[in-house]
Amino acid sequence: MTNPLLSDWDTPFDLPPFAQISDNDFTPALEAALEAAKANITAITQTDQPPTFANTIEKLELADALLSRVLGTFYTVAGADSNPAREALQREFAPKLSAYGSWVTANAALFERVESLWDQRDTLELTDEQTRVLMLTRRGFVRSGAQLQGAQADRLRDVKSRLSVLGTDFTQNLLADERDWYMALDQDGLAGLPDFVVATAWSAGREKDAGGPVVTLSRSLIVPFLQFSGRRDLRQKAYEAWVARGANGGKTDNRAIAAETLKLRAERANLLGYDTFADYKLETEMAGNPAAVRALLMQVWEPAKASAGADAKVLERMLHADGWDGPLEAWDWRYYSEKRRKQLHDLDEAELKPYLQLDRMIEATFACSNRLFGLSFEQIDAPTYHPDVRVWNVTRDGAHIAVFIGDYFARGSKRSGAWCSAMRSQQKLAGDIRPHVINVCNFAKPETGQPALLSYDDARTLFHEFGHALHQMLSDVTYESISGTSVARDFVELPSQLYEHWLEVPEVLAEFATHAQTGEPMPADLLTRMLGAATYDMGFTTVEYVASALVDLGFHEGPPPADPMQKQAEILEDIGMPAAIRMRHATPHFAHVFAGDGYSCGYYSYMWSEVMDADAFAAFDEIGNPFDADLAKRLEETILSSGGSVDAAELYVKFRGRLPGVAALLKGRGLAAAG
C-alpha cells in the first residue's frame, strides 16, 4: 500500500489527508524523506560545475522539501493531538533529525561550496534577498560547527543529539503531569464559582471520566478557579499542583533534564568558541549580547516590583479582613485581585465573559485584517486531524493567499499554551507556494450547544497568535528559509504583540463584543470600564514575566549551574522577588527554555518586541486612525511581508523611521510613574 505521506495529495489546497494517515506511516515516511534529502544534497556536492548561487544555495533550499512536508504534518498532530504512539515517535525522531542536521553541517564538500560563494559574494551580482540568504546560510553552517574537525566535531554532534532527546523528554514529562492531575470538586467546592467556571469544571470532569466536576492544570480552568474560589484550602492545593509540574519526582521529573541541558548548552557554546551560551545565542538577535538584555529587563523590573509591592499590601489587608492571619500567599493573589478589580473598576470576569464569545472574537481578528490588509476568510470543508479544528481559505481581491487553520479548545492530548506554526511556508523558488498556517490555543470548551466564552486575556491570546499568522500569511519572499516568522527571536513577537492592540480599539469591541444570549453589544459603560482596567494588576503580570526572563538569562550567561533550582532561588533572591508572586514559568515546567533551543536565553524577547510594538501602534495613534490605509500598507511592506530578508532593526527603522526606547512600553503597562 502506498504511504499517503509520500503520495500526491488530492485535497483542498494540498492539505494533508489526515484521515488516510496512520501513526504507522510516519516512520517509513521520515526514513524515505531523509534519504531523499541526503541524495539531493549529495548531488549538490558531486556536480562537476563550480559553485553558483543557483546550483548550491537554491538547490540546498529545495533539498528537504519532502522532509518538510512529512514533519509539518507530524509535528502538527504531535503537539495538538498527541497519543502514546506519537510520543514514542517524537522520541524516535529527535536523534534521527539531529543526526541529519549534523550530517548536513559537517558535510565538508557542501560547506566548501558555500564558503566559496561567500568569498566571491561581491562579484556574483546577487539580489539583496539572495545576499541575505547566502549570509544566513553560511552563518548557520558556522554556528552549527562546520569549521570544527576531529574530536571537537564529533563531540558537538553528540551534544546536539542529546539535547534534542532532552527537549523531547522535557515536553512529554510536562504534558504527562498536566494530563494526569485533577482535583474533584463537591458542591462546597463549586460554591461561589461563576456559571462559566462550573460549566468548564463539569466538562473537564467528563473528559477525565471523573464522575463529576474537576479542576485541571489547564490554564483556561485553573486561573478562573484561583480567581473566584473562596475555598483557600482548595486554591492552595490546585496552585501548588500547577507550579509543581515537572517537579513531582519519578519518571516525569524535569529537574535533572534541566541541569543536563544547561551543561550541554554551555559545552556547545564553548566548542564553538564562545564564553557562554548567552554569548552564542544572543549574537544573532537584535539585543546582540547579555548586557543589553539585562539592561532592558532591569529598566522594567524596578517599577514593576514597586507597583506589585504596593498592590500586595492592599491585597494582604483584604486577606486579613477575611479572617486569615499571616502573609498573602501566591494562591491568594488572583482571588483578592479579582475582588479588588471589582471594587476599583466595577468589573469582574463573570460580567465580561458573555460579551467575549470565541466565534465573535475570531470574526474580529478577521475583520481587522480585512480593514488593514484586505484579507477575506471563507470557512471550507477540508481534512483535519481533530473534529474541533476549523479551516479557512484566505483571499485578497479574489486571489488565494493562504490556508488558515484554527484549533482553539483545550484537551488532554494537546500540550499547554498557545502557538502559531506553518505546516507549509510561503516561497516562490518552487512555484508560488502559499502557506498553511495554524493557530493552536487552549480555551475552555463549552457544553454542547453553548457558545465558547473567553476571558479578556484569552481574547488577547487569540489576537496575539493571529498576529503571528498574519506574519506567515502575508510573507512575500522567494526563499523558504527567510519566509514568514523566520526572523530574529526578539523580533518575531513584534507582529503578534502589535496585533493585540486592535482588540483594544473601542470600535472593534463595540461591533464584535456582543452578549452570548441577547446578542446586544457590550454597553458603553462596561466597555469604558474594561478598557480603563487594561493595566490593572500590571505590576503582578510584569513581575512574574520579568522574573522568568531574568532566571532564563541567569542560567545561560555564566557557568552552567549544577543545581538549577538553587540557581533559580539565588537569582530571585538577588532581584528581590516579592514573596506572594511566583515566576510565570518555574524551571521544571519552563517549556519555552527547555523544550528546545527556540526561546532558550530568549524569553526576554517578548519584552524586547513589546518595546517595538508599543511604539509601532503609537504610529497609528499619532495619525488618529487605527485603520489608516497608508500606514497599514507600510506595515505590510516593511515588516509583515519581508520575513527575514532584511535585518530586523533595519526593517523596524523602515517602518517607524527610528528605533524605540522603553518609555512607550512603561506607559502602555501603566508603570511609567510606578518607580
Q: Which residues are catalytic?
A: 465
pLDDT of 447 > 90? The answer is: no
User: For the chain, what percent of residues have pLDDT higher than 90?
Assistant: 94
Q: What is the pLDDT of residues 62-114, one digit of tens each?
A: 999 999 999 999 999 999 999 999 999 999 999 999 999 999 999 999 999 99
Q: What is the pLDDT of residues 210-231, one digit of tens each?
A: 999 999 999 999 999 999 999 9
Instruction: Give residue 334's pLDDT.
Output: 97
More confident call, 216 vs 674: 216
Instruction: Give residue 667's pLDDT.
Output: 87
Listing from the earlier edge strand, what are the strands of the sheet with 436-443? 376-379, 390-396, 399-409, 436-443, 419-424
pLDDT of 673 > 80? The answer is: no
Residue 348's pLDDT band, with cuts at 50, 70 and 90, is: confident
Superfamily of domain 4-105+107-144: Endopeptidase. Chain P; domain 1 (1.20.1050.40)
Task: Please compute the mean of the pLDDT values over residues 345-360 and round it to a whole number.
Answer: 92
Burial of 517 (0-12, 13-18, 19+ CB in 10 A): exposed
What is the amino acid identity at position 322? D
Instruction: Give residue 492's pLDDT.
Output: 96
Burial of 96 (0-12, 13-18, 19+ CB in 10 A): middle
Task: Please compute the mean of the pLDDT values over residues 298-327 and round it to a whole number.
Answer: 96
pLDDT of 402 > 90? The answer is: yes
* pTM for the predicted model, two decimal places: 0.94
Instruction: Give residue 323's pLDDT.
Output: 96
User: For the chain, what percent of residues have pLDDT higher than 70?
Assistant: 99
Grid cell locating 654: 523602515
Q: How many CB atoms lie within 10 A of CB 460?
A: 19
pLDDT of 254 > 80? The answer is: yes
Residue 246's pLDDT band, with cuts at 50, 70 and 90, is: very high
Name which of 52-56, 178-182, 571-575 the model is least confident about.
178-182
Instruction: Give residue 523's pLDDT.
Output: 93
Euclidean distance between CA atoms 220 and 216, whole angstroms: 9
Q: What is the pLDDT of residues 6-48, one digit of tens each?
A: 999 999 999 999 999 999 999 999 999 999 999 999 999 999 9
In the chain, CATH 1.20.1050.40 sits at 4-105+107-144
Q: What is the DSSP letter of 435?
A: P
Q: Between the CA of residue 136 and those of 76, 219, 373, 463, 560, what are the distances in Å?
A: 26, 38, 29, 30, 28
pLDDT of 363 > 60? The answer is: yes
Instruction: Give residue 674's pLDDT.
Output: 44
| Average pLDDT along the chain | 96
Grid cell locating 300: 522594567
> With b meaning 16 or more CB within 10 Å and e meaning fewer, what string describes 375-400?
bebeeeebbbbeebbbbbbbebeeee
Instruction: Give residue 318's pLDDT.
Output: 98
